[in-house]
Amino acid sequence: MKAVNQPIMKKDAVSLVTGQPVYTEDIAPKDCLVVKALRSPHAHAWVKSVQADAAKKVPGIACIVTADDVPHTRFTIAGQTYPELSPYDKLILDKHIRYVGDPVALVAGVTEEAVDKALRIIRVEYDVLEPLLDFTKAKDNPIVVHPEEDWNPVVDVGGDNKRNLVAQAEENWGDVEGTLASSDIVIDRTYHTKQVQQSMMETFRAYSYKDMYGRLTIVSSTQVPFHVRRIVATALEIPKSQVRVIKPRIGGGFGAKQTAVMEVYPAVITHITGKPAMMIYTREESMTVSSPRHEAAVHVKVGASKDGRIRVISVESLWNAGAYGDHSPTTVTLSGHKSIPLYNQFEAFRFAYEAVYTNTIAAGAYRGYGATQGIFALESAVNELAAALQMDPVELRLKNMVRQGETMPAYFDETALSCTLDQCLLRVKDMIGWDEKYPRKVLPNGHIRSVGLSLAMQGSSISNVDVASVTIKVNDDGFYSLNIGATDMGTGCDTILAQIAAECLQCPVDNIVTYGVDTDTSPYDSGSYASSTTYLTGKAVEKTCQTLIQRMKERAALVLKPAAIEDLDFTGEAIVDVVSGKAITIKDLGNGAMCGNEIALEATESHYSPTSPPPYMAGAAEIDLDPETGHIELVDFAAVVDCGTVINPALARVQVEGGLVQGIGMALMEDVTITETGRIQQNSFMQYRIPSRMDLGSIRVEFAPSYEPNGPFGAKSIGEIVINTPSPAIADAVYNAVGVRFTDLPITAEKVYMTLKHKQ
């Protein structure tokens, strides 16, 4: 292959590194109104009155909008395929305040200074209520977060707003209780993971304007342009035909921008005033009123025989949805569906879950999408099982892991058509030097070196739901336009999809021009989430290329006049009649199609997948722990990934490295804490620590490719799985170092020190 499996440079690399104006704020009109929100300081309250007359008189203020001035149709800001599983529980502005930061009013003015002054002048009278902050006590609590009668679950997922339930369900396969009772050993533990922030460099931002036809246009840094169109239209009670969404380059998303956190705010200002309006979230807003990962409590039971065969797995997940149900019904399902199937030799499994409302920030989508919490819990339990059996964790996993060709009852009965998980584990074992280092060594300075490991899986798009569409056309001189609805959020999908097209069309990647998303002109795509783009949109590219080649042959036949169109062969540079030897170049074909032609040299195809092939990986950590202080230094992290065929090894490696760093942050330092009044204490990078290069030792990445028959050129996804192994691997390394099993993340030096002190 000449284009696929090649480390080709990203198409936007030069623009980005030379600081070209490519991002949302760079290209906004200079006369945009500045939009900001007045936010509640209370976690739970009713707005009794808003006194804004004096603020409206501040020079430069265009309007101040309250709950009385906006439509009252409930909607969800979760960017998901319609009908969304997330409940319609939100208003643009609501008098019922449900968390610290819920917006009370929007202020729009010609300058930031005028808006800030107006925000200081507005006076709000609240009826302050007791907040519900403990998600473990939320179900059936007397404090009801969403008592409204028009709470609208578009799809029944077991929710009940009067019980603070967003969603709930239970799935049993086999005799779970009987198998647990007859198991030789049972690990029964609850693991707790906290909120984690996506921390992308570009914060949330969007601007809006009315076009020459009076339609509302929104330019947004979003992963889901087509869903933003639906969300804004629903919220403003206007037809979708009156809304257009354009996506420029995005400065990171990691799932945060799968939620339309703020697009509706500038949109409603433009809708009311007719003027361009722009909203840019500060870092504080991005950390306190956005869509972080769900806090979770995951109760795991693993029953096994003395020889190490895992006979039964039970996973019960409790999710803190926060004030709104965005993504909760879907994220929580991955905690079991993408952890339990790692082991496939069991006799029974159970997966039960609940997601509950509280008066805290609403959680949303974050890389890993719920699998991260579930894998931390189950992989930690498997490591505990290995310790209880006095068995090497590698040996235990090799006895029980899923293998290629097996049907997975815990994964919707899908068959693992491509799986090199065993190779991933054996290779990562060698990379980390497991046999020499497991479980620990005490160094002359008193520090302890130890290792731990974990497995992970994810999916590739949402089966039978996600849709990707692609349009490719032949232009003058034979270059191609690749029009996609998928969003490149820095991952390089514009380049990867061009590589797949170039391989199909047998041309250089530079001969493929990729266009970003404009909902008026781009073919429909569900959006860049759920690890779907390379697998799903890539397959749509393949199908479209095949159709386009057929169209080019039909056009060439008018010139070459073969006996049958089957006599024509596409070589990449020309179409050749294999019988007569006559040929026409793609360049001449493209130019000739511009005159006297009835055959359009373009094609559009859509694709969905009935399966969601899991990528797999193994990760291993080596740490240096100082028992005097509790400080943990990550010495080395080795990872081996099975993502099918690697389309672009350079970009895939960067994806793995970036995801590992985020997972390491979750394991060791990222710690969102909420006060007794519901306020988030970490609202900047001064308080909220994410890993820097100085916090990491070496990170080494290799691939153990498989061939996925349903993917483009055998490819599967890679974007999300890479965040999932660090937490359980590092937690196990800490256990191997000091004999203490930490079930709460993050594992900070303070926790280790205090635990060791208490133990002594």
CB 734 within 8 A of CB 453: no
The model's confidence at residue 489, banded by pLDDT at 50, 70 and 90, is: confident
The 3-class SS string of 338-395 reads CCHHHECCCCEEEEEEEEEECCCCCCCCCCCCCHHHHHHHHHHHHHHHHHHHCCCHHH
Q: Is the pLDDT of residue 297 over 90?
A: yes
The model's confidence at residue 29, banded by pLDDT at 50, 70 and 90, is: very high
For residue 728, say if its preceding peptide bond is cis, omega within 30 degrees of 0.
no
Name residue, tokens 């010495």.
Answer: 635
Q: What is the pLDDT of residues 514-570, one digit of tens each?
A: 998 999 999 999 888 888 999 999 999 999 999 999 999 999 999 999 999 999 999
The model's confidence at residue 120, banded by pLDDT at 50, 70 and 90, is: very high
The whole-number pLDDT of residue 521 equals 95
Task: Give the mean pLDDT of 314-332.
Answer: 98
CB 279 within 8 A of CB 209: no
**Percent of the chain whose pLDDT exceeds 70:** 100
The model's confidence at residue 307, banded by pLDDT at 50, 70 and 90, is: very high
The 3-class SS string of 447-513 reads CEEEEEEEEEECCCCCCCCCCEEEEEEECHHHCEEEEECCCCCCCCHHHHHHHHHHHHHCCCHHHEE
Fold match flag (17-130+198-287 vs 296-460+612-759):
no
Q: What is 296-460+612-759's CATH number?
A: 3.30.365.10
Q: What is the pLDDT of residues 331-371, one digit of tens each?
A: 999 999 999 999 999 999 999 999 999 999 999 999 999 99
Collapsing DSSP states into helix, strand and coil, what is residue 97?
strand
Distances (CA, A) of 494 to 13, 16, 487, 501, 612: 11, 14, 8, 11, 22
Q: CB neighbours of 206 closer than 8 A, spacing ≥ 6?
A: 24, 218, 219, 220, 221, 222, 262, 263, 266, 267, 278, 279
Q: What is the pLDDT of residues 38-86, one digit of tens each?
A: 999 999 999 999 999 999 999 999 999 999 999 999 999 999 999 999 9
Query: Measured between alpha carbons, how far is 194 from 745 in angstroms, rounded to an integer?
Result: 7
The whole-number pLDDT of residue 528 equals 83
Measure the CA angle with vertex 632, ends 136 and 368; round to 5°: 50
Tell me the longest C-alpha to C-alpha distance in the chain: 90
Query: Measured between alpha carbons, how far is 210 from 536 in angstroms, rounded to an integer?
Result: 34
**Residues forming beta bridges with residue 167, ordered by sequence position:** 355
CB hemisphere CA count around 668 (13 angstroms): 28
The whole-number pLDDT of residue 124 equals 98
Query: Measured between alpha carbons, how far is 68 from 447 in angstroms, rounded to an integer?
Result: 62
The whole-number pLDDT of residue 760 equals 76
CB 16 within 8 A of CB 252: no
Name the token pair of 332: 């929580």
The whole-number pLDDT of residue 487 equals 87
The model's confidence at residue 490, banded by pLDDT at 50, 70 and 90, is: confident
The whole-number pLDDT of residue 491 equals 87
Q: Is the pLDDT of residue 213 over 90?
A: yes
Task: Give the mean pLDDT of 689-704.
Answer: 95
**Residues forming beta bridges with residue 698, ordered by sequence position:** 636
The whole-number pLDDT of residue 664 equals 98
Task: Give the mean pLDDT of 113-133.
Answer: 98
Beta pairing, strands 33-39 & 277-280: parallel
The model's confidence at residue 109, banded by pLDDT at 50, 70 and 90, is: very high
Query: Measured between alpha carbons, how far is 164 from 195 in angstroms, rounded to an integer?
Result: 19
The whole-number pLDDT of residue 530 equals 84
Query: Measured between alpha carbons, how far is 757 from 749 in angstroms, rounded to an integer?
Result: 12
Query: Measured between alpha carbons, how far is 423 from 646 in angstroms, rounded to an integer?
Result: 16
Q: Is the pLDDT of residue 161 over 80?
A: yes
Q: What is the pLDDT of residues 81-101, one digit of tens each?
A: 999 999 999 999 999 999 999
CB hemisphere CA count around 443 (13 angstroms): 13
Query: Measured between alpha carbons, how far is 481 from 681 in angstroms, rounded to an integer?
Result: 48
**Residues forming beta bridges with residue 106, ordered by sequence position:** 37, 65
Q: What is 17-130+198-287's CATH number?
A: 3.90.1170.50
Mean pLDDT of all residues in the chain? 97
Statement: 466-608 belongs to CATH 2.60.120.10: no
Sequence spans of domains, the chain:
17-130+198-287, 296-460+612-759, 466-608
CA-wise closest residue to 532 among 320, 710, 317: 710
